[in-house]
Amino acid sequence: MTNQNHNTETGVNKKAMREWVYALLSGDYEQGYGCLEYNQKFCCLGVASDLFYKEVGLVKGDRFGFVHYREPENKYMETSVSLANKIVDYLGIKTRDPQLEINGKIQSASLWNDGTDRSPGSTEKGQNSVDFKTIAKALNDKYKLGIDIKV
């Protein structure tokens, strides 16, 4: 998908990335863990999915309370734990779960969101989980979005 807001050097859609960062900072989304969205609580990747799924032509579905996103013609869910390919393409970030640096350590956005030492399939917060503001700052720094965020 070609978008006039994509940076020609990096391919990143800075307008959409800023929208994602501002949504993480807004307080409109309650942070959740373990999946994109469950019981109206969102992972950091779930916030981006919720913001852009209609814009990129995806359908939002629910299976046992877990929200997933898929192509309209595909009756099976594409993803409930990482960004759908169309959202990755729209954002221009090249990965379904971007690697972010926080306090000198690099790991995936979902792992920063969820934390470690969690049971498989758990929707509970793990150890070393960081808040949306910290993730927003890491996204801002990585993609050079120019938003002034104090953590």
18 occurs within a structural domain: yes
Host domain of residue 108:
14-142
What is d(CA 20, CA 68) in angstroms, rounded to the nearest whole number? 18
147 occurs within a structural domain: no
Question: The whole model's pTM is what?
Answer: 0.88
81 occurs within a structural domain: yes
SS3 (DSSP) at 79:
strand
50 occurs within a structural domain: yes
Average pLDDT of the chain, as a whole number: 88
7 occurs within a structural domain: no
150 occurs within a structural domain: no
Mean pLDDT of 31-38: 91
Our count of domains for the chain comes to 1
Distance (Å) of CA 99 to CA 5, 16, 53, 95: 22, 18, 22, 9
Dihedral, CA atoms, 139, 70, 61, 17, nearest 10 degrees?
Answer: 20
8 occurs within a structural domain: no
Using DSSP bridges, classify how beta strands 30-31 and 66-70 pair: parallel, antiparallel or unpaired: unpaired
Q: In what order do the strands lie in the sheet with 30-31?
A: 30-31, 41-42, 37-38, 66-70, 59-63
Q: Of 13 and 73, which is predicted with more confidence?
A: 13
13 pLDDT above the threshold of 50: yes
